[in-house]
Structure 1
Amino acid sequence: MFIVCVAACPTGIAHTYMAAEALEMLGKKNGWEIKVETQGSTGIENEITEDDIARADGAIIATEILIDGVERFELLTKLECSVADPIKQPDAVYNTMMHLINNK
């Protein structure tokens, strides 16, 4: 399973990168291939491409702000959550994403 993710917080520093790391760990733990794009004070890093989106099974948008390019994900099964959720509740994020994918 391939999941694309975006992590972003208002300042784009600590929580953005903590969430990105938590999402990558979530992927490893559950056998997902993960690509995490971060949006913050340094701009967009590890940008998700059209090819990534075309092969993705779903998207996790973990943000506290309106992200650039949100429309890219409109055709994907998508979980929108707080940037803190992957950090504090990774199992809930996983279970919710799997529920969405399995019930689309």
Structure 2
Amino acid sequence: MKIVGVTSCPSGVAHTYMAAEALEQSAKKVGVDIKVETQGSSGAENQLTSNDVANANFVVLTNDTNINGMERFKGKKVVQLSATQIIEKADAVMGKLLTLNKGELK
């Protein structure tokens, strides 16, 4: 399974990067391939390519503010939560996505 994500918060500092780290750590625990773009105060970092998005089973958006480039996720399965929710519950979100993905494989 492959997941891509974009994190952003109003100040573009702490929560943006904390949410990205929470997703990356949770994915690593369960062996899921993930790439997270951060849209922080210094602009977009670790930008997702069109191939990254095309090959992703799910898109996780952790935005408390507008995300640039939303059109690239059209037609994808998108989960949208606040940065705080992801920071606190990344493992549960990852578990749910794994369950959903297994259901699709049947």
TM-score by length of 1: 0.90
CA displacement 1:79-99 (0-9 Å, x = unmatched) = 000111221112331233335
Please say if residues 8 and 38 of structure 1, whose CA atoms lie closer than 8 Å, have aligned partners that are also in contact.
yes
Relative to structure 1, the CA distance from residue 74 to residue 102 in structure 2 (aligned partners, 3 Å threshold; closer, same or farther) is farther
Are residue 2 (structure 1) and residue 2 (structure 2) matched?
Answer: yes
Are residue 96 (structure 1) and residue 96 (structure 2) matched?
Answer: yes
Unaligned runs of 5+ in 1: none
* Distance in structure 2 (CA, Å) of the matches to 1:30 and 1:102: 14
Unaligned runs of 5+ in 2: none
Give the paired residue count: 104
Aligned twin of 1:73: 73
Are residue 43 (structure 1) and residue 21 (structure 2) matched?
Answer: no
CA displacement 1:17-50 (0-9 Å, x = unmatched) = 1011101001101111110000011000011010
Identity of aligned residues (%): 45
4+ residue runs over 3 A deviation: 98-104
